Amino acid sequence: MSSDQANAANIQIMDLIQKFEETPFQKSYFLINNIKLVEELKSQKKLNEDLQKKYDALEKAVKEQAEILKAEHQGMLSQLEEKVKSLNEKGASSNDVIKNLTTKLQHHKRLDLLKRNAHLSDEEHTESQMSNTGHIVWQFRYNLLEDTIRGMEVKHKVKLSQLEEEVKSLNEKCASSNDEIKNLTTKLQQHTILDLMKKKKVHFSDELHTESEMLNKCNGCWVRYEFHENTVRDLEVKHLVNLSQLEVKIQSLTEKIETQNEAWQNKYKAVEEKSVRDLALEEKQSETLNVEHQGVLSQLEEKVKSLTDVIMNLTTKLQHHTRRDLLKRNAHLSDEEHTESKMLNTSNIVWQFRYDLLEDTIRDMKVKHKVKLSQLEEEVKSLTDVINNLTMKLQQHTRLGLTHLSDEVKSQSEMLNKTKGGWVRYEFLENTVRDLEVKHLLNLSQLEVKIKILTERIETQNEAWQNEYEALKEKSVRDQALEEEQSETLNVEHQVFLSQSNKAWQDRCNALEEKSVFEEEQSETLKVEHKVFVSQLEEKIQSLTGQCASSNDEIRQVRAQSVILEDICLGQKKKSLGVFGRSMQDRVTELDKMKHKMLATRVTPGANGP
């Protein structure tokens, strides 16, 4: 049933209700429902305010931590080597991949939420189509909405806890990276070539005078000089070979990371496609169920309309052809039916109002959650951008420092070639070679340690992502199973509810039909009795009219006879008086006198006896 038809039905019911006065029971029922609704709205507002306060506190803490991180990162720009740069770049790329995976996971979670909301909206749409079926449907929908609100609150709390854990993990990662950068900067500041060159310059200026005397004693200074140059070249070649090996290791590690990331992306895409297909299937099933429900509801409405028309016709007929007692009974029954319809309509209006309020609160909560999630995502993106900018600045700074060092080394070597002190050059080259060897070993050990740390970190991250992926996969399977079970249970409950409602409507229709048949039979019997009674009355009236006519004729005859007798009596009396007798009075007085005499003689018959 469409919303326009539902509105038209509600308007018709309201018009019927306006014809009758409200009972005090209905007023009290409506007030109680309004009080309950206001209390529930107040509790919901309090809960939303508590959630908003918690979210604001969390947002302030995140902002403060971000400001602290920014302030710490501003004082950490120092010199690093080229290989540390490459490792940081690889770490940044892995962080970008992790960020993309997190965004995809969040998108997947949003899809799950949208799917559940769509499923709930479909259920709400089907339930709104059954709004006119009675008070039970509204109660069911209201309970279902309360359950969904509780589930959404629990999910929101879980998401907030997850976001807090993610922010904490990001802060810990930033703190660990900052500590590593600080340690590296302190080590590089302690062991830079510039400091060594400055020390060597001071030492060189002090020992120039002492070593100038020993130059004449040494013969093979140039041979030794060439030998040390060859050793320096060999060390440089070894250094380059080690660097190439490290680059090969780093490339192999990056290739492994890329393959693993591609595998995870493919798995994530497969899960995404599966979820999209499941959504499409559920939408199709919900549409088919909606169409079936609409057909069933339209059939029920047509039956109810036809039955109401039949009942109205029967009531109009009964009003014209029944007695006062039947009119009173029908009026009493119609009052009860109208009060029941009025109660149902008022309850439906109350439930509709409560349902609309709950829908508005759910929409507001969804909008707020989306805004908060977008703000947290923007903060995470800003933190990752700050980290990337810091790594780029560190790389640029280390490149500039290395180029400056190479230029200084070249200038020093040129100065040594120009000077005549061979032993000075020899010792200087020996010291530089030793320093380079020590530094090379230190750099190699540091790079190996960093590579181990990075490999362990990458392995832990991969294990964590794999565990999260497996957990998400299991969760999706469980959620899908739960949704299927819920959909099956809802379908079963809906079918049971439809069967019960159909039975109830059928029983009611049968009762109304039986009632209408009984009333028709009573009306027919009353019609027959009325006809018989009318015919009997007509016969009695005819007999009475005949009797009246015969009695009137008899009365006329008696009156005529009495007049004749009176005339005879008066004539006889006149004859008895004779010519010289007293004069007679008028007719009436004479007749009265004669009647009195006759009565006196009848009363006292023996007065003139023997």
Q: Which of 83-87, 253-257, 550-554, 601-605 has the lowest mean pLDDT?
A: 83-87
**Per-residue pLDDT tens digits for 173-229:** 666 666 766 666 566 555 555 555 555 556 655 665 665 565 555 555 555 656 666
Query: H/E/C letters for each residue in 69-109?
Result: HHHHHHCCCCCCCHHHHHHHHHHHHHHHHHHHHHHHHHHHH
Cβ-based neighbours of 250, under 8 Å, separated by 6 or more:
83, 86, 87, 90, 451
The reported pLDDT for the residue numbered 1 is 42
User: Considering only CA atoms, which of 26, 6, 116 is closest in space to residue 342?
Assistant: 26
The reported pLDDT for the residue numbered 572 is 78
Is the pLDDT at 236 greater than 80, yes or no? no
Cβ-based neighbours of 566, under 8 Å, separated by 6 or more:
587, 591
The reported pLDDT for the residue numbered 31 is 47
Which amino acid, residue 585? Q
Region label for 101, one of left (φ > 0), alpha (ψ between -120 and 50) or beta (otherwise): alpha
The reported pLDDT for the residue numbered 218 is 52
Max mean pLDDT among 264-273, 378-387, 587-596 falls in 587-596
Enter the DSSP assignment of 21: P
Which percentage of the chain shows pLDDT scores above 70? 37
Enter the DSSP assignment of 348: H
The reported pLDDT for the residue numbered 50 is 74
Residue 495: band (very low, low, confident or very high) from pLDDT cuts 50, 70, 90: confident
Cβ-based neighbours of 185, under 8 Å, separated by 6 or more:
76, 78, 79, 80
Query: In angstroms, how far is CA 383 from the centroid of its own chain?
Result: 32
User: Considering only CA atoms, which of 530, 511, 534, 19 is closest in space to residue 320?
Assistant: 530
Cα torsion angle, 513, 515, 518, 519, sign: negative
User: Considering only CA atoms, which of 243, 269, 241 is closest in space to residue 81?
Assistant: 243
Is the pLDDT at 302 greater than 60, yes or no? yes
Cα torsion angle, 124, 144, 51, 171, sign: negative
Mean pLDDT of 388-415: 61
- Number of CB atoms found within 10 A of residue 69's CB: 19
Which amino acid, residue 546? G
**CA 491 – CA 487 distance, rounded (Å):** 6
Is the pLDDT at 282 greater than 80, yes or no? no
Residue the block writes with tokens 């004779």: 578
Is the pLDDT at 423 greater than 70, yes or no? no
3-class DSSP assignment, residue 497: helix
Which percentage of the chain shows pLDDT scores above 90? 0
Residue the block writes with tokens 């004449």: 216
Residue 22: band (very low, low, confident or very high) from pLDDT cuts 50, 70, 90: very low
Enter the DSSP assignment of 368: H
Q: Which of 21-30, 135-144, 399-408, 505-514 has the lowest mean pLDDT?
A: 21-30
**Per-residue pLDDT tens digits for 436-492:** 767 767 877 777 787 778 778 777 777 877 787 788 778 778 887 887 888 788 778
Is the pLDDT at 565 greater than 70, yes or no? yes
Q: What are phi and psi of 52, to 5 degrees?
A: -65, -40
Helix axes 135-190 and 324-418, enclosed angle (nearest 10): 10
Max mean pLDDT among 252-261, 288-297, 366-375, 514-523 falls in 514-523
Which amino acid, residue 460? T
To 5 degrees, how large is the angle CA 285–CA 290–CA 292?
A: 95
**Per-residue pLDDT tens digits for 35-48:** 655 576 667 677 76
Terminal Cα distance for the chain, rounded:
115
> Is residue 230 within a helix (H) or strand (E), and if so which, with residue range?
helix 221-321
Residue the block writes with tokens 């001071």: 202
Which amino acid, residue 58? L
Q: 593 or 609: whose pLDDT is higher?
A: 593
**CA 182 – CA 73 distance, rounded (Å):** 10
**CA 558 – CA 291 distance, rounded (Å):** 93
**CA 265 – CA 260 distance, rounded (Å):** 9
Is the pLDDT at 86 greater than 70, yes or no? no
Region label for 578, one of left (φ > 0), alpha (ψ between -120 and 50) or beta (otherwise): left
- Answer for the pair 97, 261: CB distance below 8 angstroms, yes or no: yes
**CA 482 – CA 327 distance, rounded (Å):** 58
- Answer for the pair 70, 385: CB distance below 8 angstroms, yes or no: no
Residue 147: band (very low, low, confident or very high) from pLDDT cuts 50, 70, 90: confident
**CA 98 – CA 88 distance, rounded (Å):** 15
Enter the DSSP assignment of 322: S
- Answer for the pair 510, 305: CB distance below 8 angstroms, yes or no: no
What is the pTM assigned to this prediction? 0.24
User: Considering only CA atoms, which of 420, 376, 456, 422 is closest in space to residue 162?
Assistant: 376
**CA 178 – CA 77 distance, rounded (Å):** 10
Contacts 24+ apart (CB under 8 A), 410-419: 412/197
**CA 339 – CA 609 distance, rounded (Å):** 92
Q: Which of 333-342, 384-393, 475-484 has the lowest mean pLDDT?
A: 333-342
